Amino acid sequence: MNRRYRKTIIAGNWKMNKTLSETRAFADELKPLLGKPKWCEVVLCVPYVNIPAAVRLFKENRVAIGAENCHFESHGAYTGEVSVEMLKELGVKYVIIGHSERRQYYNETDFTVNKKVHAALEGGLYPIVCVGESLEQRELGVTMDLISYQVKAALAGVPADKMRHVVIAYEPLWAIGTGKTATAEQAGEVCEAIRAVIRKLYGARVARSVTIQYGGSMNAKNAAELLAQPDVDGGLIGGAALKAPDFVEIVNAANQE
Ligand code: PEP
């Protein structure tokens, strides 16, 4: 973390978990434990149907609400899809774009990721752009090439003045939902490389202002070590964001002056 130049952001990704009543129960448990963290931004990315309740329930604790996806068009004949404008009107601040599960199961490509990044920024949302390599790619030694390509493709055409709204999440596929975490060194190395790519594209001032998260089985036990890496500015958290005490412990690891 380096709070001098950029925000630390701890974001939960609930995926397809929690009904409305479970969302209310989570809020009841989380709110007294969480308080109002001062040194980091806390985000919960929840299923679309829970967004209005989540915005209301977490407001007093300053938890920002995110969506887990969006469409790149503003409206039209796209059955089942949700636009940036619809999310914005509900009070959503962040949107996850290009999560590996969407790339794997729903035909998300680097091209659609780029279109969604543009749509989010134009509509006033903060995109959390996910990039990451598979185990095979890591073993082939192409991690940095692949990540560099994914970052460049996601950001193609994004002007420098919009970059302060962009968050990048480095999520190695082999660590997501597997209980296998990248070592702090592996996470730090790739996050550093991502910042170097942004530096080449936009210069040093922009690069040091961008929040780069690590995601992949981050939990209460390993969060502090991962966050101690200078280029790891937070976490995107799946499983551990479903249990209020675990999520709060991760926030506490990040909420240091
Ligand atoms: C994620 O879904 O982005 C994620 C990192 O999940 P988990 O923490 O469960 O590995």
Split at pLDDT 50, 70, 90, the class of 199 is very high
Q: Which atom of ligand 1 is nearest to the CA of 178?
A: 10
In a domain, 4, yes or no: no
236 part of a folded domain = yes
Cα–ligand 1 centroid distance for 76 (angstroms): 32
pLDDT at 211: 98
Q: Answer positive or negative: Cα dihedral of 69, 70, 71, 72.
A: negative
Ligand 1 atom 4 nearest Cα: 238
CA distance 129 to 121: 12
The verdict on residue 214 lying in a domain is yes
- In percent, the amount of the chain with pLDDT more than 90 equals 95
- At residue 179, does pLDDT exceed 90? no
Burial class (CB in 10 A: 0-12, 13-18, 19+), 150: buried
pLDDT at 247: 98
| Domain-embedded: residue 127 | yes
Q: Of these residues, 71, 99, 101, 108, which one is catalytic?
A: 99
Q: How many domains does the chain have?
A: 1
Active-site residue, 118 included: no
Structural domain span for residue 186: 9-254
Residues 6+ apart with CB under 8 A from 107: none
pTM, two decimals, is 0.97
The yes-or-no verdict on residue 15 having pLDDT over 90 is: yes
In a domain? residue 3: no
| CB contact set of 51 (below 8 Å; sequence gap of 6+) | 65, 67, 87, 90, 91, 92
Instruction: Identify whether 2 is part of a domain.
Output: no
Q: List pLDDT tens digits, range 55-98.
A: 999 999 999 999 999 999 999 999 999 999 999 999 999 999 99
Q: Which CATH number goes with the domain that contains 194?
A: 3.20.20.70
Q: What is the DSSP string of 42-98?
A: EEEE--GGGHHHHHHHHGGGTEEEEES---SSSSSS-TT---HHHHHHHT--EEEES
Question: pLDDT (tens digit, 9 = 90+) per residue, 235-246?
Answer: 999 999 999 999
Give the type of residue at 171. Answer: E
139 has catalytic annotation: no
* b/e per residue 43-59 (b: at least 16 CB within 10 A): bbbbbeebbebbbebbe
Condensed to tens digits (0 to 9), the pLDDT of residues 206-255 reads 999 999 999 999 999 999 999 999 999 999 999 999 999 999 999 999 99
Q: What is the mean pLDDT of residues 37-48?
A: 96
Residues with CB under 6 A from ligand 1: 13, 171, 176-177, 215-218, 236-240
Number of helices (H), then strands (E), in the chain: 11, 8
Confirm if 28 and 34 have CB atoms less than 8 A apart.
Answer: no
Strands (E) in 186-241, as ranges, are 211-215, 234-237
Ligand 1 centroid–CA 145 distance in Å is 23
CA distance 102 to 68: 9
Q: How far is the CA of 176 from the centre of ligand 1 (A)?
A: 5
Inside any domain, residue 179: yes
CA 246 to CA 250: how far, in whole Å? 7
Residue 178 in any domain: the answer is: yes
Round the average pLDDT of the chain to a whole number and report it: 97
